Each structure stands twice: as structure tokens, then as C-alpha cells.
């Protein structure tokens, strides 16, 4: 049964989370498929730490291929957080020197890290013409979408998507002690699937609701 569900997941496109009130910029895996994906990884994957000249990967693998949840930092400094399948990222957030990219290979949004504005929205049909609400109106009315870096007095740092000034979408929270959380936010709180990377190279992944991990 599990193999059948995984096969179905491989064929299905990413679909919208209908419960999210904010219009989405990209398609993503719906919650039932997220749950199946997590169960499959939990049963069959191994946690690995790999370092070489190209970069460093901490995450789950199956048959020596990236599979499941992981974090990759390239030798150039770019950081990728997300879900992998058969060695390729299928959904995630990538932080490079001047842009942030969120989504899947076919459906994604690119933000300017300096301004926080959307630079590009791409679907499997091509680039979307940028107009409001993706970008601000000519009269100065700001777009509700943005991507921000927030640094706090205790040394914690947050990178992520905002909608109308609240964390909403995907983000990365970095604690001063080295712990990192990546995943979905809704209305300011961690709500949805994500992963927690603890100092000591441990990863916890699954579903969070109202900032708390759901016990599975």
C-alpha cells in the first residue's frame, strides 16, 4: 500500500493548500501527500552528513541518493532547505547572495534579498507578468508579498516570506545556538510541514501546528 501511495505521489502535480487564506505564489505538496512522504522517509531513509569540495549536505538518503528532508550548503555559500526525491530537490527554499527562491523546479517565486520584492514568478507555463499584487501599484500601494531578513537582539535570525507584514509562506529561523528550523508559516506561526536541524547534526521533520511539533 505504501509503495502504491508513493507511486501516486510521484505522478501527481503539486497542489495548492486550500486552507491558506493568502493567494499562493507557487504550487506545493498537499498535506495528505506530505504525510505519506514523511512516513516513507521515516521508515526507509538514513540520516547522513556528507562533505566534499562542492559543499555539505545534512539530511536523509535512500540508496545513496538524497531522499527526504535535507539542508545543503554549497562551496559558494548558497544554502538550500527542503525536500528531495531521487537526488533532486522537489520543493524548498534557496538562499544565495542576493536572491531567495521558493518553490518547486516548475513553480517558484524569486525575491530580491535587498529590497524584499518579488523579481520573478514562474509556473510550468512560463513566467507570469508581474503586476499587483505581485508588485506594488504605480500609486505607491505596496504589494502584500515580501521576503525579509530579521535579526533579533538575542542573536537569532529569520529569513522568510511575509504576507501583509506577517510571516506567511516558507522561512528559515536560525537560533543563536546553531539550531535551524525550515518550513511553512501561516499567519505568523509555524503551521505545516518542516524540519528542525539541531546542533550535533540531528534532524527532526514532520508537522507543526501553532509553533509546536505534532507528536507522531
What are phi and psi for residue 164, nearest 5 degrees?
Answer: 55, 40
Q: Decide if pLDDT at 32 tops 90.
A: no
How many of the other CB atoms lie within 10 Å of CB of 19? 10
Helix (H) or strand (E) holding 50: strand 46-51
Q: Decide if pLDDT at 8 tops 60.
A: no
Residue 67 covered by a domain? yes
Question: Which pLDDT belongs to residue 194?
Answer: 93
Q: How far is CA 110 from the centre of its chain?
A: 13
Residue 125 covered by a domain? yes
**Mean pLDDT score across all residues of the chain:** 85
Average pLDDT over residues 133-151: 90
What is the total count of domains within the chain?
Answer: 1
Tens-digit pLDDT profile for residues 66-121: 999 999 999 999 999 999 998 899 999 999 989 999 999 999 999 999 999 999 99
Residue 215 covered by a domain? no
Residue 178 covered by a domain? yes
Average pLDDT over residues 19-36: 71
Helix (H) or strand (E) holding 48: strand 46-51
Tens-digit pLDDT profile for residues 175-205: 999 999 999 999 999 999 999 998 877 888 8
Residue 10 covered by a domain? yes
Question: Which pLDDT belongs to residue 212?
Answer: 83
Question: Which pLDDT belongs to residue 21?
Answer: 54
Cα gap 151→101, rounded to integer Å: 20
Residue 119 covered by a domain? yes
Q: Decide if pLDDT at 10 tops 50.
A: no
Host domain of residue 91: 2-210
Residue 98 covered by a domain? yes
Q: Decide if pLDDT at 1 tops 80.
A: no
Which residue would you say has higher pLDDT here, 63 or 213?
63
Question: Which pLDDT belongs to residue 20?
Answer: 43
Question: Which pLDDT belongs to residue 73?
Answer: 93
Which residue would you say has higher pLDDT here, 184 or 26?
184
Question: Which pLDDT belongs to residue 9?
Answer: 38
Question: Which pLDDT belongs to residue 199?
Answer: 80
Write down how long the chain is.
216
Residue 216 covered by a domain? no
Amino acid at each position: 500500500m505504501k509503495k502504491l501511495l508513493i507511486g501516486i505521489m510521484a505522478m501527481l502535480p503539486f497542489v495548492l493548500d486550500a486552507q491558506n487564506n493568502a493567494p499562493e505564489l507557487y504550487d506545493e505538496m498537499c498535506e495528505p501527500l506530505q504525510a505519506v512522504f514523511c512516513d516513507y522517509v521515516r521508515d526507509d531513509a538514513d540520516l547522513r552528513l556528507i562533505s566534499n569540495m562542492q559543499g555539505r549536505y545534512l539530511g536523509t538518503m535512500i540508496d545513496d541518493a538524497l531522499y527526504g528532508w535535507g539542508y545543503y550548503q554549497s562551496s559558494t555559500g548558497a544554502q538550500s532547505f527542503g525536500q528531495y526525491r531521487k537526488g533532486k530537490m522537489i520543493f524548498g527554499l534557496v538562499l544565495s547572495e542576493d536572491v531567495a527562491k521558493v518553490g518547486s523546479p516548475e513553480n517558484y517565486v524569486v525575491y530580491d534579498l535587498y529590497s524584499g520584492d518579488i523579481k520573478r514568478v514562474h509556473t510550468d507555463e512560463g513566467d507570469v507578468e508581474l503586476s499587483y499584487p505581485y508588485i506594488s501599484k504605480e500609486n505607491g500601494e505596496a504589494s502584500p508579498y515580501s521576503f525579509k531578513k530579521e535579526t533579533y537582539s538575542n542573536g537569532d535570525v529569520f529569513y522568510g516570506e511575509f504576507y501583509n507584514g506577517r510571516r506567511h509562506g516558507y522561512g528559515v529561523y536560525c537560533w543563536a545556538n546553531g539550531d535551524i528550523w525550515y518550513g511553512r508559516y501561516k499567519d505568523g506561526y509555524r503551521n505545516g510541514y518542516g524540519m528542525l536541524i539541531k546542533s550535533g547534526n540531528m534532524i527532526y521533520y514532520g508537522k507543526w501546528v501553532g509553533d509546536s511539533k505534532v507528536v507522531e
